[in-house]
Amino acid sequence: MSNPMNKKLAELLGKMDEKVLQAKLNAAFDMLKNGDTEEIVKKLNKIDKDELLKKVNEIDKEKLKDMKIDKEEIKQKVKDEDLENLKKLIGEHGEEIVKKFKDIIG
């Protein structure tokens, strides 16, 4: 009896996670576009760069599709100069992370 309920709950939570992730991505892109680098730097400094690289390496085109993230929308929002700025802000592993990001949306 609880199995269908657990499945439905997991489905709902998965959809919430997708929406939260999309909202976080949009907020990050907006901060990057608006030149709000101080806030981005604060957030990036709190992140373990090795862990970030590991997470980025787990993402592929199929996972993006599963997460319902629109590559074309990201391509329209993020320009090369934005990625160059992000690479500098990330610091350690910045080049690797941005390269992987470009490969994913490319």
Per residue in 27-49, pLDDT (tens digit) is 777 777 777 778 777 877 888 88
Residues 55-104 pLDDT 10s: 888 887 787 777 777 888 888 888 888 888 888 888 888 899 889 888 88
Residue pair 76/61 in contact (Cβ under 8 Å)? The answer is: no
Domain that holds residue 90: 2-105
Contacts of 32 (CB under 8 A, 6+ apart): 40, 78, 82, 85, 86
Q: Indicate the number of domains in the chain.
A: 1
Q: Is the pLDDT reported for residue 3 higher than 80?
A: no
Q: Residue 55 corresponds to which tokens in the numbers above?
A: 């997470």
Report d(CA 42, CA 75) in Å as an integer: 25
Residue pair 86/32 in contact (Cβ under 8 Å)? The answer is: yes
| pTM for the full predicted model | 0.61
Spatial CA neighbour of 86 closest among 97, 76, 75, 77:
97
